[in-house]
Structure 1
């Protein structure tokens, strides 16, 4: 089976920029990904963040679905413990009316924020995460599976009742999400970029070993990774420096806007920080388009996944679009498009 290549977008806020620019950049890259032939465009959810503008992915999904032609568009993910399962079902049914047959509903359990913000979103945040499997059951029920016989809201219908339904995924960075996905017979995506791959192979093994085939759906797995391509290895490493500096801040519990490559070059690193950055660079999937393609293909084969979603936060929007283009060309994505799907010259 050919490896599917998709994009994961956190609507990154960059130094010197603002959240509005981040959302507009998301929209522009999504249209580019649609033209290039990427499989999916997924939007992350974060709250109370100076780093990310994606607090309401369902809103931006609607805008992207309305302005693209063929790419699947969805969430990676909706943090279900914050919300009513019925409301999420209705939102994504409405999105199916905007982009019929092209909507993905990725679900996560993590707060995507700090603890205080989680309580601001849902006063029952202390127990909501524990109820994640039940919330997934209810959501699937309102999307077509039906609710249990004794469910108190069994007769409540999720509207609008449109002909198509979203494709539901479970997302995670531990084997908990893998178990939930397997139990409900859903596709699963592991957030490799969060853990640097630690625990990924184990979680995927749990998923495959315990998967229950429901609705005629086979086990289907993906990983979300960080990758960046440029015209030269040296340019890719220069651009990566801003991501590395941001990771140093993140590891101290600080989430600032993404610094520029110039800011990263001028930063007064300690010896320990320089060593850590070097370890990051050695692990990072960066380089020319062909180098990135080879690394991604090898990793996907090693882990046995069918899809890869690529995260590329980049301070320079032109460099980010160049990365998306180079990776798409390296994987031959445009070859998969029919003439009617391609944009006119």
Structure 2
């Protein structure tokens, strides 16, 4: 089983947003030392809790501080941008970290409609254009011309295919699964978005409809889960209070930094909130290494996966690192 990480640069109450960005860089180095396979960073806009807005910039910084771990975007929200520019950025990243770059793309805005228009006021961003954008992106990242325009910088010596960034399709619905299958791309399902709802259908469609490509002759899928480990189940559940509170508040339109678990424990949850949290907690991956390890192995076996991507939020960076270290030890990752 390969394990990878998705980090979103989460803002913590009482700390600066810039701290979250620097913590992402430190975590990438830490993850490489533990033996994680990939380290992906996300793109969100106008969401106070998640301050990772520019994955390509973060990836360049991570590339300068690591040597082995794959680095990726999860993902670039392609409708905001020109595919050629994205391809050029990621070919530069490939020059900085040869053979280690994953280019994950998504169709969702990663923001509200007003912010989406501000990100690209000159383009309507018609979702129907997304499949064509992805095909153009694939060509340009591989040094092939699209619309008669070559990609820059120039392709590396030998086969451009061998050194091109690896394009992944990201999604949380059937649409992304079917498009990934049609284009012969690896597919990552955002399991943590909706506690896994729709994952079986999406993976079934992806595998059933898959059309082999030159780079990926067979389907390759993973999912991203949210998990938090601690030395005991009780301690993990206490640390997870921060995200529990955030999920309830976000559903009510209250957005802000991640709050500390002691503060949340002091105020608690009312009866209605407890009812809302119950099904979320039942499907969560929170607990000791043995508890979470057993759940993740069962899920991977059920979905026939050989790689999982893990996302962990915690107010204390040390708690988050300990969680990832426990998980690495549980799955016997090679440092």
Fold match (TM-score > 0.5): yes
Query: In the alignment, is the contact (CA less than 8 A) between 2:300 and 2:308 conserved in 1?
Result: yes
The superposition leaves residues 135-174 of structure 1 with CA deviations (integer Å, 9 ceiling, x where unpaired) of 0010011122735xxx6x3233332433521111000000
**Paired residues of 2:13 and 2:257 also in contact (CA < 8 A):** yes
Pairwise CA distance, 1:130: 2.1
Runs of 4+ in structure 1 off by over 6 angstroms are none
State the shift of 1:124 in Å: 5.3
| 1:204 partnered with 2:198 | no
1:241 counterpart residue number: 241
Q: Secondary structure at the match of 1:77?
A: strand
2:305 equivalent in structure 1: 305
Aligned to 1:132: 130
Contact persistence 1:90–1:160 (CA under 8 A): no
Deviation of the 1:308 alpha carbon: 0.7
Look up the match of 2:160: none
Whole-angstrom distance in 1 between the partners of 2:266 and 2:113: 34
- The alignment covers a number of residue pairs equal to 329
Q: Following the alignment from structure 1 to structure 2, what is the Cα–Cα distance between the partners of residues 127 and 6?
A: 31
SS at match of 2:309: strand
Counterpart in the other structure of 2:101: 103
SS of 2:240 mapped into structure 1: helix
- Give deviations 1:17-38, integer Å, cap 9, x for gaps: 1211001111111111000100
Please identify, of 212-221 and 272-281, the stretch whose mean Cα deviation from structure 2 is larger: 272-281
Aligned pairs for 1:218-297 (under 5 A) are 218-267=218-267, 269-297=269-297
Note the residue ranges of structure 1 that are not aligned, 5 or more in a row: 338-345
Q: After the TM superposition, which residues 321-340 of structure 1 pair with which residues of structure 2 at under 5 Å, given as runs?
A: 321-334=321-334, 337=335
1:12 is aligned to 2:17:
no
| Preserved CA contact (<8 Å) 1:96 1:162 | no
Q: Is the 8 A contact 1:5 1:308 kept in 2?
A: yes
Q: Which residue of the partner structure matches residue 45 of structure 1? A: 43
* Partner in structure 2 of residue 113 of structure 1: 111
| TM-score normalised according to structure 2 size | 0.95
How far residue 263 of structure 1 moved from its aligned partner, in angstroms, is 2.1
Name the CA distance, whole Å, in 2 between partners of 1:225 and 1:125: 33
Corresponding residue for residue 343 of structure 1 = none
Structure 1 residue 256, shift from structure 2 partner: 1.5
- Whether the aligned pair in 1 keeps the contact of 2:300 and 2:306 (CA below 8 Å) is yes
Give the Cα–Cα distance (whole angstroms) in 2 for the partners of residues 145 and 138 of structure 1: 11
1:253-302 CA-partner distances (Å, limit 9, x unpaired): 33221111012213353211012223322221011112211111110111
Give 1:156's aligned residue: 150
Please say which of residues 181-190 and 303-312 is displaced more in the overlay: 303-312
State the SS of the aligned residue for 1:193. coil
Change (3 A) 1:125 1:279: farther
The alpha carbon displacement at 1:216 in A equals 4.7
Q: Aligned runs of 1:24-103 on 2, under 5 Å? A: 24-103=22-101
> C-alpha distance in 2, partners of 1:181/1:306?
18
Higher mean C-alpha displacement, 83-92 vs 298-307: 298-307
TM-score, normalised with respect to structure 1: 0.92
Q: Which moved more, 1:158-167 or 1:209-218?
A: 158-167
Q: 1:8 to 1:174 in 2, by over 3 A?
A: same
Corresponding residue SS for 1:192: coil
> In 2, are the aligned partners of 1:81 and 1:129 still within 8 Å (CA)?
yes
Note if contact 2:180-2:206 (Cα within 8 Å) is conserved in structure 1. yes
Deviations 1:44-86 (A, max 9, x none): 1001121011000100101111101210011000000011100
Shift of 1:126: 4.3
Give me the whole-angstrom Cα distance separating, in 2, the residues matched to 1:124 and 1:183: 29
**TM-align CA RMSD:** 1.4
CA distance in 2 between partners of 1:206 and 1:253 (Å): 33
Instruction: Write the deviation string for residues 225-268 of structure 1: whole angstroms up to 9, x where unpaired.
Output: 00011011110000011110000012123322111101221335
